[in-house]
Amino acid sequence: MTVTLDLNQPIAESSKQARRILDDISLAVAKSKRIVVVTGAGISCSCGIPDFRSSDGLYALVKQQYPDVVLKGRDLFDASLFRDSTSTSVFYTFISQLKRSIDAAHPAETHRFIEMLDKKQKLLRSYTQNIDGFEERLGLCGSSSEGVKTSTKGKSKLRLKDVRNVQLHGDIHRVRCTLCSANLPFTEEYLDIFQDGSAPHCPECISRSNARVARSARPIKVGTLRPAIVLYDEAHPLGDEIGTIQTKDMTRKPDLLVVMGTSLKVHGLKRLVKDFAKVVHDNAPSSQSTSKAPSNPLAGKVIFVNKTPPAGEWADVIDYHVAGDTDGWVKKVCDDWRKMIPKDWEIQTTLEDTASWSVTKNSIGKVETSKGKSKRSHDAENNPTRGRKNQPTAPTSPSKRRTTANHYSAQESSPSKRQAAEVPSTLMDTTAAKRLFSDTTNSPTKERELDLESCEVNLPKPKARRRNQSITKKSGTEFSAMLARKPSLDCVMISTTPRRRKGVV
């Protein structure tokens, strides 16, 4: 049974129970996480755009302007109007006037409320009958938007995950060809042509026809453009995609359904609302599951906000009917939301400058904040090297240690490595090296012979020999012969005598 609540009734006259239910509805919106919103033309009335079925709506306006052309205002939005040239011309003129009034209008509070739900990640999806496209102005990508169209060939024409607002009746800001179904923006040039009651030619068809004529082929028929809105008894061009989106949303278990600004007379919308209402009621939390009072008492309910009450067939579908203006109701919901859960409205401020900040402490003890590169203080408290010269330094990491011949020190190494480290150097001194490697080829003086007799080299102490022979100092000639027989790795010398064969003394 539907419970009706008058939003415009003064607080003094309204009952305490009615005020409590309105507060619970506001709390339900704040607590829900997957809200489905269905809207009609009533949410745009405050923008200056008339609805359809009220006394001052579009149907009455059409009847007053063209009494001889249509019998009812609904006839101007029926697909059969294209059968007559007069009704088609009237339709184009009327749509051009409606398009200009929509371009001059601005989104209402209800549109901003839907956009706010999407920003707070509480909106599952928005479904609208409107063709004004106000939701897309606020950032909600519509199903008719060019940004959600797929460029690749496939089963789906849309990127379904990017569609936040499903436009059930099309978009007045787009036009499409009656022949090739090309979808184009509604430009000012097309608007002037529609104002005269005629239809512009499709540029896509013209380009294809000219390309055929250029290669000596016969031209093809050129189609005309029409507003990309869906009329009565007309199939939706994106019907399959909309059905896929609806099925996907129903599987995601929505926890609240809000219907605003529609009389629920269109057959397709009636079926959509009933399907969503059944899923919402099925996913409602049962009162027997928990003994505590539920934090969201109206979770899994269907809220209907409209000036006129719903028909009798909706008694078992709609739980609460809020009689009043949609802008007034969303304003009350936002005010109650701020009072009940203020943390949801906290805004985290960000620094405009991305420079780093550092906190230092001066000598007096006050904390100072410096921007950019922090300056090192000269106080002993902040200077880690001051007053610590005699203290031992921490051991460095293995990668920063000085590379040595072995990993351990000379005292901790193995005996073989320690013995190799203790071998004295056998290199000659600087004077002897200069005498051996000096260049005397181009010397202007008399060529000097190398005196190997006076060159003495200290050899490393060899291992013990068989007959305990001691190593004596050898002359230069004997030393050269010894090098020829067994070359040394520790000393590099140039021999002046030819190399002798092995075994010859």
Binding site: residue ranges?
Answer: 177, 180, 202, 205
| DSSP letter (8 states) at residue 51 | -
Distance CA 386, CA 390 (A): 10
Distance CA 23, CA 81 (A): 47
Closest CA to 112 of 340, 343, 326: 326
Asked if residues 226 and 199 have their Cβ atoms less than 8 Å apart, the reply is yes
Closest CA to 333 of 3, 43, 23, 39: 23
Closest CA to 70 of 50, 55, 89: 89
Strand residue runs (E) in 68-132? 123-128
Q: Which strand (E) or helix (H) includes residue 91?
A: helix 85-104
Distance CA 118, CA 165 (A): 10
Q: CA–CA distance from 483 to each of 107, 140, 309, 425, 504 (Å)?
A: 102, 93, 119, 17, 13
Angle at 265 between CA 262 and CA 268, to 5 degrees: 100
Q: Which strand (E) or helix (H) includes residue 225?
A: strand 225-229
Residues annotated catalytic, as ranges: 169
Q: In what order do the strands lie in the sheet with 3-6?
A: 3-6, 320-323, 301-306, 256-260, 35-39, 123-128, 165-167
Distance CA 62, CA 73 (A): 6
The structure tokens listed for 160 are: 């379904």
The structure tokens listed for 376 are: 């090192």
Backbone φ, ψ for residue 153 (5° rounding): -80, 130
3-state SS of 192-219 is HHHHCCCCCECHHHHHHHHHHHHCCCCC
Distance CA 92, CA 67 (A): 16
Q: Which strand (E) or helix (H) includes residue 410?
A: none
Maximum alpha-carbon separation in the chain = 142
The structure tokens listed for 229 are: 């809105």
Distance CA 374, CA 360 (A): 8
Residue 315's identity, in one-letter code, is A
Residues 6+ away with beta carbon under 8 Å from 120: 344
- Which residues carry a binding-site annotation for Zn(2+)? 177, 180, 202, 205
Q: CA–CA distance from 26 to each of 6, 118, 276, 296 (Å)?
A: 15, 17, 20, 10
